[in-house]
Structure 1
Amino acid sequence: MNFQSFFIDLSNAIPSERIIQDSLRTLAYGTDASFYRLTPRAVIQVNSEAEIIHVLKTSKKHQIPVTFRAAGTSLSGQAITEFILITLGDNWKGHTILDNGLKISLQPGVRGSQANKYLAPFGRKIGPDPASINAAKIGGIAANNASGMCCGTAQNTYYTMDSMKLILADGTQLDTSDEHSIAQFRQQKSSLLTALKDLSDCVNSDPKLVEKIRYKYRLKNTTGYAINSLTDYQDPIDILQHLMIGSEGTLGFISEIRYNTVIDSPFKASSLMFFESIDLACKAVSLLKKCPVEAVELMDWAAISSVRHHDTMSPLMPSLSKGCAALLIETRAKDNSELDNQIQEITDTLSANHVHSNIEAPFQKDPAITSQYWSIRKGIFPAVGAVRTTGSTVLIEDVAYPVDRLAEAVKDLHHLFEKWNYHNAVIFGHALEGNLHFVFPQSFDSPEEQQRYEGLMEDVTDLTVTRYQGSLKAEHGTGRNMAPFVEKEWGSKAYQVMEQLKKIIDPDGLLNPGVILNTDPNIHLKNIKPLPASNQIIDSCIECGFCEPSCPSRDLTLTPRQRIVVQREISRLKNDQQDEARLKTLTADYQFYGDDTCAGCGLCSTLCPVGINTGDLTRQLRQEKNADKDTKALWFANHFSKTTKGVKLGLTVANAGRHIFGNHLMKTLTKATNTLSKGRVGEWRPNLPKANNWTPEASHIYSDTKKISSNSKKVVYFPSCASRTMGVGPDQEDQRPLTEVIFNLLEKAGFDILYPKNLSNLCCGMPFQSKGFLDIANDKRSELINAIEQASNHGEYPVLFDTSPCAARAFEQLPDSLTCYDPIEFAIEHLLPNLSIQTSEEQISLHITCSTTKSGLAEKMAFLANQLSTKVFIPDDIACCGFAGDKGFFTPELNQSALRTLKPQLPKNTTLGVSSSRTCEIGLSEHAGIPYQSIYYLLDKVSRRI
């Protein structure tokens, strides 16, 4: 293979920055959620169909294999390669809603949860609902024929697809919704279509084979190719597009897919029922299959025990006996009356057949309660993963059995676990479809461990295929994991059909080789991903990728998962001490890709199944790196008043420079200065605010904790250091600093305002924490808490923090005696009830900060905004803004990347953005093209005294 010539030809259409060959990013970008590891020779980021076609034609010319990858949440090793990995750039996120939501066209870069968000106003959703739907992209969902908890078989992509756009290995395009495209394709690929038709006729002429195909697809089945398309359809165009579903990128690239959507019933209820045995639980499943239920999730005793510390499970555990099983049942309806009737029908059916739960478990409609039920079920896999021995991995297998034999199959699996000493294995799954997942820790560091795993899989295969005629892969795809067993499940005739399909559609075998069909009987035991001990913060990571959608650097450098992958490799190389050159390269490159561009926002922890905050890892690494700078940081902490005065002076000088030189020249000057100072100065931002010179004393009303009123309503107001130093931006209509606005609001709402003593020296510690000076940061926070405790008369008065990041940092260690508020909660609880609101009709854009999300206040912030304006827009797919304190000045590309999709989304008449973090608002204003300011400005504008 001549890779050099390949890359030269590739560069004719793909910019060099999107042909990635460095060792750090090929390792990081080449990792998926499976327990396999292959590092690609290069990662190509493509932005259009034209680029895909160019890559494929170049691949064919040089006979170099390629693999497509979407989100990399697949579990069976189908999204990795040692050759060329093709990933999706920014331009694959388009969607079009058709027929009032009955159909939706989606490009492969749209996440499943985003598609459902687009359809929500129409009361519709896409059919597939994999557990990874918040991270998984449509390209992967379709290519793997993913299903999920409620999807079953009737609503997967195979059955809900309307049409698709696809590109074959030689670059030929087909749009199955366009008659002209179909006619052109029939001319271009007549031999391919003829071969498909002939193969279909051959299959249909064999009654036994047809019957086997139909029998196999009575259950969920993603093992091998979707050869049911050969019996379900006559037109080779239909056959081809249905073969693409579940083909795992081995037959072509799906550039767009149109779904027939399904009803998303708005009224839902769930029940968590416990039964004395698996037998009783499975008997209930058989009965429930005839009832109006959307989902029935089965959990065996080991699965229940794995989540015994869950807040909802913990009180129930003493009343549960060993060996019991649980069912999580959900029913949905169009209205509350229908929902009540369905609940009654389900309850009556179970009672009439003498199937009773041994714990009273009435159906609950409250989303807060039902979400807790579902978090129990979703927490099983990560719970097992989190307690595994460091260095081992956690495997999840995916089988399907006839529902009427489910209890028998579970018992047989338990016997196999005992035989092969998998004492920590748990079983759960989508019981309505007979789809079971079993999860267990596994080490591959010795021949004995590998043999143990091999023995288990051989026995599971024999049990599933021979005894139950079930599916070895129900919904996770074949990948490399099950490729050696495809022929055993399907038999030689069906397997030969699959081999013929591959040769017809991808004759050179260049698309994702080794996946689905593989001649190596031991491929499932090779290229096992190393998971060495690295850091206690990240050692429990299972590399699922659920964290990635929340990360502001995901499209610039690395995601949290990828940072962990690289850190693990660095740790492995340190331990091996055999490849010092690679270790040196990875360590050096990690500074920018891993550290400099990590916002440390911690949003990854909100999506991580085991709660890992990769920002904590970054701060710990910074602490180690900056250990020799503690003395300087301590001086700034002890002289914080002087520090903030220096910042104010700098802002004053900078704004004077803006007036003299203008934004363009200031950007040029500061960029040059920043380069000469080796990154110590920072770069110019056009929305840099002026200094805030307002002080409590300037009001002539309050100073420290002195009051002049006998008003019974008192509040301690703590302005963050950002609010105290930074005034308004150059484009803001209201030129008052936030501190003055809040003072006015509190007075208007009838509050006496108290301030902590020594205010100018107080700080929550976040600026020090973000640099890795963790002890100093904690000391500053303790100093602040002591001050507000005194100011509040030991908790007698509420305390208002005016920015969300500051509040979130302080609240981590608040004593129970204090009642402190984030600005959002304070506005809802104390300001709205004491003010007259005249709701604005101004179109506003709302940015919910990462601190607000982590604090669980995102919905409350949206509620507050909707009380203040009738037109509130929340941009899609923007979580953390990436400004990250001062990173907007020192690593501005992070802020730019995180917000690059903001401006194009904004409604045309948007004039104002609101948020709750002063530094975030600088970057938001720059990249949105409209001024962003605290939501308190809008509250002050629309409120009057009562």
Structure 2
Amino acid sequence: MPEGVAFPESQQDIAKLVLWARENGKSITARGAGTSLAGQTTGGGIVMDVGRNMNQIIEIDESEQFAYVQPGVIRDTLNREAGKYNLLFGPDTATTNRCMIGGMIGNNSCGIFSIKHKTTREHILEIDAVLSDGSRATFKPLSETELAAKMELDTLEGHIYREIIALVREHRDQILENYPHPEIIRRNTGYALDRLCEMQPFNPDGRKFNMAELLCGSEGTLAMTTSAKLNLVPRDSESIILVPHFSTIRKALEATVEIVKEDPAAVELVDDIILNATKGNIEQRENRFFLDGDPKAILIVQFDGDDADTLQQKAEKLSKNLQEMKLSEATPIITNEHKMERVWNLRKAGLGLLMGLGSEGRTPTFAEDTAVRVPDLPDYIDDFQKILDKHETNCVFYAHASVGELHLRPVINLQKPEEIEKMKTMAGEIADLVRSYRGSLSGEHGDGRARAPYIEKVLGAEMMPLLKKVKQIWDPNGIFNPGKITDSKPMEQDLRYSPSYKKPNVDTHFNWRKEEGFADAVELCNGAGVCRKLSESGGTMCPSYMATKEEKDSTRGRANLFRQLFSGKQKEAFQSKELKDALGLCLSCKACKSECPANVDMAKMKAEFTQGWHKEHGISLGERFFGQAAKLYPLASLFPTFTNWIMRQPVTKELLQQFLGIDIRRDLPTFANKTFMDWWDKNHANLTRPTSNPDVGQESRQEVVLLIDIFTNYHEPEIGKAAVRFLESQGYRVIVPDFHEVGRPQISKGMLTHAKKILDTNLPRLANFADRGMPIIGLEPSEILTLRDEYLDLCDEDQVHSAQKVANASHTFEEFSADLLADSPVSTKDKKVFVHGHCHAKSLIGNSAIRKALEDAGYEVEVWDTGCCGMAGSFGYEVSHYEVSMDIGKQRLFPALKHLPEDALVCVPGFSCRHQIKDGVNVQTFHPAKLLAETLI
């Protein structure tokens, strides 16, 4: 547990922090996104987070092709800016939408394209740093004269140069003999003394001496990076991907040996365990389009260049060769840029998916990052398998195969003492195996806590005094990230999951069936940090973090609190003010349910916690107002004109803010002069119900159930009327039940006992419709999708069968319409429609249905990636959330709406989304039902 957290704003702040830590005997652990895998960014003392404030791109020089950045700059943010000059920073980790340059330097990150771009070390030109005495230094290539001048300095910097030069000069032969083979691009075991051996003055033909290469991969144990000058490279104009499929891992690795001879930009191995995990991930399921059957393994191979025809010929030739060698059974070739991006998104999700495989994904990464020469890969894997067989465990295989790096994760149950002993034994045997191949124990993810105890086995006992000497030269008081690389604790200490870990054991209202219990749901988050991506990286998760940049407002931050509190306090955690505050800005958008690789459903966890909080503290008046609005609506709708007038009076708004917490800057939705049900009861029996098929009789037409939610009924009845008109034009007889609630507001407000009562009333009626083969259609996405999501977990065991039938029969209006229009699309596309999708729909079913329905109805459609609107039901109305709500809208949605063509139509299926747009930019929007009904004219 850290003693404190610092958020420096400048190099001067870091220098002050270092001096304070030195004087007070505290350590400093530098941290950006905190996604390192071997424990590098965990430690006591002070955690120094550079991501919040030191995140500026200081300069990009197009002609000299370099960037000068602060350490908190996110890699994708840099490349978006560099891309304006057709340049990029080459290292491409799986975490590029949140990993920061400082962390990439600390870990010497590489990524998918390391055979082409190598490692961060090859792209670092200069590093500005604060040393352990608070002094500042710039490390860059030095001529012999400049190096001599540095060694004359009467400062810590001068001492470092003198001592490091002397150490390397004395032990150069020993270092080169014991370090990993120089053909291995990814070698991050220990400090990079072997890289210094390649430089002048030790190698007259080598490159200039540059201590920045030693700092790369040093894991923040030697100095604090305050800025860096990075090499940028031109972007290739053309790329092509082929994906050979294999029946065995060995065949895939044998193929890799042949493929690297063809100068690929990337060769990535993914095994069937990860591929199977993508089937259960809502977002990645869509990215499986290129797979042919269920291969044991695939390689994702990319070629880059400037001539598309040449690349196509190269890909086809390789595909043919692999089949002739009887290595690959199928080799799809992909040239579409968007589809290639989807292939890589699936690959990048691999680690997070793997870490989300329940308890089997919690193995510490003790053997996860080994690297050997590419020709050694097939035999190395066979030897590794022998270790697995000996210990009766299995392993996930995925890899940067092009450079001999394998991410191998043996399955270990850390909550059993005998399994921890097995892990320690295996770690030693694997280190011995790596040594026998002259490989690297860490290829890119670093030594940290997990692998540092085994460096000695890989580099040899004679190297350990040298590594400790390096640490002592740079940081004699040991204040920088102690216990990493050198002087590490045994790997079994400080484990997140261990025999002493107590699983949460509390009574819940949801059954948590998919997760196999609340305890497993609480443990799902693996810390991958995808929820920390910025708005400009796309997607929706996590909208509150995108607005505040606060860790506590990320899915990971909240999940960490859930785990810590419930595993410690058990049922008393329902009274936690800390957790309630952390959940305060959760919009329950459900984006984490699909975009998080582990499918953490924070909206559901929030509902469960809030129900427990209410049990202890009661339900506030504001929560009751929004959670049980249906009880007030009938009265308010009796005199709609008066209700609407009174709600807009300043004195009323003051009272609403004071007693219900409704922000005075918001206008509550207006009530319609006549509800939908008033119109329905008066007109439905006499409707002519025109049909597109005159041969279909009134009574013989199929019946469909149209659920009219309270928002449609009381506020926007025209949407319901449009839906009826459209459905009946397609030959359906519409049935409208006389209830409007399914429990969505109650679930969102954590009023689960109320929601369960609604479920108990609704489920038999809905199941009756499903039994009769009647589709159940909803106009408000969050309402109808509640039947397919929460109902399946809120129901009792004896209700599961009925709930599943209802879920199977339920459709959003867009889904049902897309199926209807599939056989009779309209070809004319003379109107452009821009779509902002509903968060729940994007998370649970995606945007394909709304796109297809509108396109088949004759519209030209563009689906925006505008994230969350920021309203999220009642969230944006509440005074404590208004600013964050508007900040979220201002990120992507509002700017998109301000630059529309004059005749453009904006389609927004969500009620609260439409009202956020009205408040934010006052642009008219349409529900899909109204746009589809327009095509009938």
Q: Which TM-score band (shorter chain)?
A: 0.7 to 0.9
1:146 aligns with 2:109: yes
User: Corresponding residue for 1:425?
Assistant: 395
2:528 aligned to 530, 545, 558, which one?
545
Matched positions, count: 852
What SS class does the counterpart of residue 409 from structure 1 fall into? helix
User: Corresponding residue for 2:193?
Assistant: 227
1:160 aligns with 2:155: no
User: Corresponding residue for 2:446?
Assistant: 477
C-alpha RMSD over aligned residues: 5.4
CA distance, structure 1, for counterparts of residue 897 and residue 869 of structure 2: 22
Contact 1:537 1:612 in 2 (8 A): no
Amino acid at match of 1:42: G
Runs of 5+ unmatched residues, structure 1: 1-38, 576-582, 675-680, 727-737
1:148 to partner: Cα distance = 2.3
User: Corresponding residue for 2:798?
Assistant: none
1:669 to partner: Cα distance = 4.6
1:456 to partner: Cα distance = 1.5
1:806 aligns with 2:783: yes
1:775 aligns with 2:734: no
User: Corresponding residue for 1:55?
Assistant: 17
What SS class does the counterpart of residue 921 from structure 2 fall into? coil
1:438 aligns with 2:401: no
CA distance, structure 2, for counterparts of residue 618 and residue 650 of structure 1: 36
Task: Sort the Cα spacing of 1:592 and 1:317 in 2 relative to 1 into closer, same or farther, 3 A.
Answer: same
What SS class does the counterpart of residue 368 from structure 2 fall into? strand
CA distance, structure 2, for counterparts of residue 98 and residue 246 of structure 1: 26
Amino acid at match of 1:612: V
1:850 aligned to 820, 829, 839, which one?
839
1:36-87 deviations in Å (ceiling 9; x for gaps): xxx1122334455554444333323323211122222111011111211122
1:474 to partner: Cα distance = 0.6
Task: Sort the Cα spacing of 1:393 and 1:785 in 2 relative to 1 into closer, same or farther, 3 A.
Answer: farther
User: Corresponding residue for 1:690?
Assistant: 670
1:680-705 deviations in Å (ceiling 9; x for gaps): x5443435443343545898999347
* Higher alpha-carbon deviation: 170-179 or 146-155: 170-179
1:900 to partner: Cα distance = 3.2
Contact 1:69 1:88 in 2 (8 A): yes
1:917 aligns with 2:907: no
Contact 2:116 2:266 in 1 (8 A): no
1:604 to partner: Cα distance = 1.4
Contact 2:75 2:98 in 1 (8 A): yes
User: Corresponding residue for 2:597?
Assistant: 609
Relative to the length of structure 1, the TM-score reads: 0.74
1:807 to partner: Cα distance = 4.7
Task: Sort the Cα spacing of 1:888 and 1:436 in 2 relative to 1 into closer, same or farther, 3 A.
Answer: same
1:567 to partner: Cα distance = 3.0
* Higher alpha-carbon deviation: 71-80 or 373-382: 373-382
Task: Sort the Cα spacing of 1:243 and 1:702 in 2 relative to 1 into closer, same or farther, 3 A.
Answer: farther
CA distance, structure 1, for counterparts of residue 355 and residue 873 of structure 2: 36
CA distance, structure 1, for counterparts of residue 78 and residue 820 of structure 2: 31
Q: Report matched runs for 1:489-568 at 5 Å.
A: 489-491=458-460, 495-518=464-487, 520=488, 522-530=489-497, 532-534=502-504, 535-538=518-521, 541=524, 543-549=526-532, 550-554=541-545, 555=549, 557-568=552-563
1:825 to partner: Cα distance = 7.6
CA distance, structure 1, for counterparts of residue 679 and residue 63 of structure 2: 56
User: Corresponding residue for 2:266?
Assistant: 295
1:486 to partner: Cα distance = 3.0
1:472 to partner: Cα distance = 0.6
1:436 to partner: Cα distance = 1.4
Task: Sort the Cα spacing of 1:693 and 1:254 in 2 relative to 1 into closer, same or farther, 3 A.
Answer: farther
1:251 to partner: Cα distance = 2.9
Contact 1:602 1:615 in 2 (8 A): yes
Amino acid at match of 1:538: A
* Higher alpha-carbon deviation: 503-512 or 808-817: 808-817
User: Corresponding residue for 1:263?
Assistant: 235
What SS class does the counterpart of residue 148 from structure 1 fall into? coil
Contact 2:397 2:409 in 1 (8 A): yes
User: Corresponding residue for 2:813?
Assistant: 821
1:431 to partner: Cα distance = 1.8
User: Corresponding residue for 2:41?
Assistant: 79
User: Corresponding residue for 2:795?
Assistant: none
1:867-893 deviations in Å (ceiling 9; x for gaps): 999999866xxx445543223344x54
User: Corresponding residue for 1:198?
Assistant: 162
User: Corresponding residue for 1:570?
Assistant: 565
User: Corresponding residue for 1:887?
Assistant: 875
1:644-690 deviations in Å (ceiling 9; x for gaps): 335668997886467543xxx7776544334xxxxxx5443435443
Task: Sort the Cα spacing of 1:819 and 1:724 in 2 relative to 1 into closer, same or farther, 3 A.
Answer: closer
Task: Sort the Cα spacing of 1:574 and 1:389 in 2 relative to 1 into closer, same or farther, 3 A.
Answer: farther
CA distance, structure 2, for counterparts of residue 687 and residue 640 of structure 1: 16
Task: Sort the Cα spacing of 1:429 and 1:881 in 2 relative to 1 into closer, same or farther, 3 A.
Answer: same
1:940 to partner: Cα distance = 6.9
Task: Sort the Cα spacing of 1:344 and 1:823 in 2 relative to 1 into closer, same or farther, 3 A.
Answer: closer
Task: Sort the Cα spacing of 1:87 and 1:823 in 2 relative to 1 into closer, same or farther, 3 A.
Answer: farther
Amino acid at match of 1:618: K
2:215 aligned to 216, 222, 244, which one?
244
User: Corresponding residue for 1:462?
Assistant: 432
User: Corresponding residue for 2:29?
Assistant: 67
Task: Sort the Cα spacing of 1:314 and 1:725 in 2 relative to 1 into closer, same or farther, 3 A.
Answer: closer
CA distance, structure 2, for counterparts of residue 274 and residue 590 of structure 1: 50
CA distance, structure 2, for counterparts of residue 651 and residue 240 of structure 1: 74
CA distance, structure 1, for counterparts of residue 842 and residue 627 of structure 2: 32
CA distance, structure 2, for counterparts of residue 444 and residue 517 of structure 1: 24
Amino acid at match of 1:930: V
User: Corresponding residue for 1:735?
Assistant: none
CA distance, structure 1, for counterparts of residue 924 and residue 410 of structure 2: 50
What SS class does the counterpart of residue 155 from structure 2 fall into? helix
CA distance, structure 2, for counterparts of residue 313 and residue 837 of structure 1: 33
Contact 1:113 1:133 in 2 (8 A): yes
What SS class does the counterpart of residue 333 from structure 2 fall into? coil
1:523 to partner: Cα distance = 2.9
1:705-759 deviations in Å (ceiling 9; x for gaps): 7534635299987664334444xxxxxxxxxxx5547867998999689996557
User: Corresponding residue for 2:315?
Assistant: 343
* Higher alpha-carbon deviation: 186-195 or 846-855: 186-195
Contact 2:150 2:158 in 1 (8 A): no
CA distance, structure 1, for counterparts of residue 907 and residue 889 of structure 2: 14
1:162 to partner: Cα distance = 4.6
What SS class does the counterpart of residue 411 from structure 2 fall into? strand
1:364-416 deviations in Å (ceiling 9; x for gaps): 55766995797489557745762546997676521011222222211221222
1:413 aligns with 2:384: yes
Amino acid at match of 1:471: S
1:721 aligns with 2:710: yes
1:513 to partner: Cα distance = 1.3
CA distance, structure 2, for counterparts of residue 839 and residue 319 of structure 1: 40
Amino acid at match of 2:193: I
Runs of 5+ unmatched residues, structure 2: 202-206, 505-517, 533-540, 694-700, 790-803, 901-905
CA distance, structure 2, for counterparts of residue 666 and residue 254 of structure 1: 55
Task: Sort the Cα spacing of 1:754 and 1:528 in 2 relative to 1 into closer, same or farther, 3 A.
Answer: same
What SS class does the counterpart of residue 289 from structure 1 fall into? helix
Amino acid at match of 1:248: E
Task: Sort the Cα spacing of 1:408 and 1:148 in 2 relative to 1 into closer, same or farther, 3 A.
Answer: same
What SS class does the counterpart of residue 562 from structure 1 fall into? helix
User: Corresponding residue for 1:218?
Assistant: 184
1:434 to partner: Cα distance = 1.2
1:503 to partner: Cα distance = 3.7
Relative to the length of structure 2, the TM-score reads: 0.75
User: Corresponding residue for 2:333?
Assistant: 363
User: Corresponding residue for 1:36?
Assistant: none
What SS class does the counterpart of residue 407 from structure 1 fall into? helix
